[in-house]
Structure 1
């Protein structure tokens, strides 16, 4: 980007800045663009989580609105006033939660460029599809975090695939793979010789942690020695606690709650499991690969763009706990396969999914849209 060109002012609109994959991903984008010729501001339609706020670079702006739960007609007016005051070159809305209000307010405020990005779970209700079918073709740039998600987006609304621009997620390799394994396992109280299986994500239905708990029960019945740790919080925690008790797997399945130090968590693992029913381009898979950890993942979204089945991990159908248990069990029983897949995963993350590649992709999209 030319040094004489004024900075491109991008205002991101997100439903809430709370711990979550999309939200962490957005923070990586705006922090990574600092000094690039792009000035970033995040507009959260609700109050931001203090931990997430603290992760933002000091030069990144943060605006917090007061959206009411559900549909809040006031939000269009709040966003309109925000856009008129901030005068961004680009408004970039993220996921369904900000699509309608963000698009309408940006057009009313005559923002030069309106972009929309999808990050994973698509809204497939009849009325939601109708809304997406009307708005998506009318944004200036439509973004996806994976090729698989782009294909689903195009099929959902009947638009040409080339209308969707793909910028894949990237991982900050400097953060992962450096924490000593022994110290990380000691912090979790895990013996060196016990196979540790991990998962990180919001405790919500689409992440299907219940499937992982059921898989753990199957592995326990086979007499395998292992421990599962699930990092994250959410509305399904009471249900998972009840399931763990009912299946009598409390000694081998532990709910850790929110973990701020994910680098330490990944350093302790032998196997990482993504058990979702739907995804975009899962950041946690990238983080596991960057940590040199073998991955077992459901074949959803862009997971198969990250995991090379049989080389860096194993892919299984979603919502099939038996298949999930079989794949995990093979790795629990084969230390050499775990080590080989972890090593190859780190190499693949390094060569293909580094953070600079993602940042360059967004910088190019923003520059191209404002020429």
Structure 2
């Protein structure tokens, strides 16, 4: 899959070779994104893209704008190195200003950027501004608009308003595709390309007992539920914790691990204490590599009330971890109608508890889901297939 092209420096300038030996004949794609802390699901797609795009005739790099002093960017830099992606990290905590646009325009000129590929509301706006100074095509991927609060809602609205002016808008789920059409993106410029996963990197190598031993967890501690994601309101972790309390009241003493960081940590900690679940629910903090935890868990639960097509579900499926998930966004496309996991309506504590209870008490069903889900991901959600579709979009906008 192409040659290694990258690493990043602590100063934000890219390190290592900036282009491959054949890059003079390849159009250059600049992936752009604002990020706080260690990022999220979209970054798995962004950072894995460059090495695959090489085989489809494109050079690319990933430019991240992050708050000054945010330590999470160092984690993303390490992930970029592991993914063989060139990453440029610029501190930026300000609203869009002329100096930033000027700097980005010069960068695009220096690197002869053919396609600006935005991945969030701010880079949607920046792309339109930069194109006034450097001729390039504009592509954006809508990964989800899961923002809450007045200012964040305003930012998301501005980002959506930019969509009709882009040469291509890629949605990762059916509902996001329909959303882009509602924002007057023409049918010929709207695409639906689902998220995908590297099934070679994400495959089970440990039994649950072995994985729990590595995590220093007693192999006989009972049913372990795992949830992963930013600790934010749209992830529904408060609903999941309530469901665990309900399960305990039914005599089903499950253990819940929640991996991730975010602004709702204090609220969740107070909820856990109030419900008397301190010994049963653990906030694990940021998880750099979720593979061991996914292999240790008996059930993975997605409790979100808003998502696009969650990368973390693909990871759980690829690692043969049975799933209970809310019926939102692209989840039905992933899980089918009960073939590859259990779905419940979002926001329903009792339905979530029922689904977890039933699956926890049916090991044969868990095994069947695990095997079927892995095969489904290999057949339908391999990352190389996704990038072939993405390259075809680039081909069309450059025609």
Same-fold status (TM-score > 0.5): yes
Instruction: Indicate yes or no: 2:393 matched with 1:368.
Output: no
1:236-258 CA-to-partner distances (Å, cap 9, x unmatched) read 11111111011111221111111
1:166 to 169, 188, 192: 192
Match of 2:172 in 1: 145
1:296-349 alpha-carbon deviations (Å, 9 max, x no partner): 111111111101232211111112222211111111111111111111111111
1:63 aligns with 2:100: no
The DSSP-based 3-state class of the residue aligned with 1:65 is: strand
What is residue 115 of structure 1 aligned with on the other side? 139
Distance 1:246 1:72, change over 3 A: farther
Q: Is the 8 A contact 2:47 2:80 kept in 1?
A: yes
Question: How far apart are the structure 2 equivalents of 1:266 and 1:130?
Answer: 35
Q: How much does 1:225 deviate? A: 3.1
**Counterparts of 1:93 and 1:85, CA distance in 2:** 19
- Residue 310 of structure 2 is matched in structure 1 by 282
Task: Provide the rounded CA distance (Å) in 1 between the counterparts of 2:185 and 2:99.
Answer: 31
1:10 and 2:29 are equivalent in the alignment: yes
Alignment counterpart, residue 211 of structure 2, candidates 184, 202, 211: 184
Are 2:50 and 1:22 aligned? no
Find the aligned partners of 2:330 and 2:199 in 1 and give their Cα distance: 19
Alpha carbons of structure 1 residues 287 and 258: separation in structure 2 relative to 1, 3 Å? same
1:252-267 superposed matches below 5 A? 252-267=280-295
**Equivalences for residues 266-305 of structure 1 within 5 A:** 266-305=294-333
Partner of 2:245: 217
Distance (Å, rounded) in 1 between the aligned partners of 2:383 and 2:370 = 19
SS of 1:104 mapped into structure 2: helix
Cα distance change of structure 1 residues 13 and 344 upon mapping to structure 2, 3 Å threshold: same
Whether the 8 Å contact between 2:259 and 2:285 is mirrored in structure 1 is yes
In the aligned structure 1, how far is the partner of 2:65 from the partner of 2:95?
Answer: 12
Choose which of 104, 108, 113 in structure 2 pairs with 1:83. 108
Structure 1 residues 133 and 52, CA gap change in structure 2 (3 angstroms):
closer
Report the more deviating stretch, 40-49 or 359-368.
40-49
Does the Cα contact within 8 Å between 1:207 and 1:275 map onto a contact in 2? yes
Q: Tell me how far apart the structure 2 counterparts of residues 191 and 31 of structure 1 sit (CA, whole Å).
A: 38
215-224 vs 123-132, which moves further: 123-132
Measure, in 2, the Cα distance between the counterparts of 1:177 and 1:222.
Answer: 34
Normalising by structure 2, we get a TM-score of: 0.85
SS at match of 1:79: helix
CA distance in 1, matches of 2:312, 2:280: 22
TM-score, L = length of structure 1 = 0.91
The reply on whether 1:322 has 2:362 as its aligned counterpart is no
Moved more, 51-60 or 175-184: 51-60
CA 1:141–1:264: 2 relative to 1, 3 Å: same
Contact 1:244–1:253 (Cα < 8 Å) also in 2: yes
| CA distance in 1 between partners of 2:115 and 2:247 (Å) | 50
Partner residue of 2:57? 37
Is residue 181 of structure 2 the alignment partner of residue 154 of structure 1? Answer: yes
Would you say the 8 A contact 2:340–2:370 is kept in 1?
yes
How far the C-alpha of 1:85 sits from its partner, in A, is: 2.4
CA root-mean-square deviation: 2.4
* CA displacement at 1:158 relative to structure 2: 3.8
Deviates more, 1:113-122 or 1:345-354: 113-122
Deviations 1:160-182 (A, max 9, x none): 45531111111111122332122
- Point out where structure 2 has 5 or more consecutive residues left out of the alignment: 1-21
Query: What are structure 1's unaligned runs of at least 5 residues?
Result: none
Moved more, 130-139 or 212-221: 130-139
Instruction: Flag the 1:345–1:102 CA change in 2: closer, same or farther, 3 A.
Output: same
C-alpha separation in 2, matches of 1:310 and 1:248: 33
Q: Which stretch has the larger CA shift, 227-236 or 65-74?
A: 65-74
Separation (CA, whole Å) in 1 of partners of 2:195 and 2:370: 19
Distance in 2 (CA, whole Å) between partners of 1:240 and 1:134 is 34
Distance change (3 Å), C-alpha of 1:131 and 1:255: closer
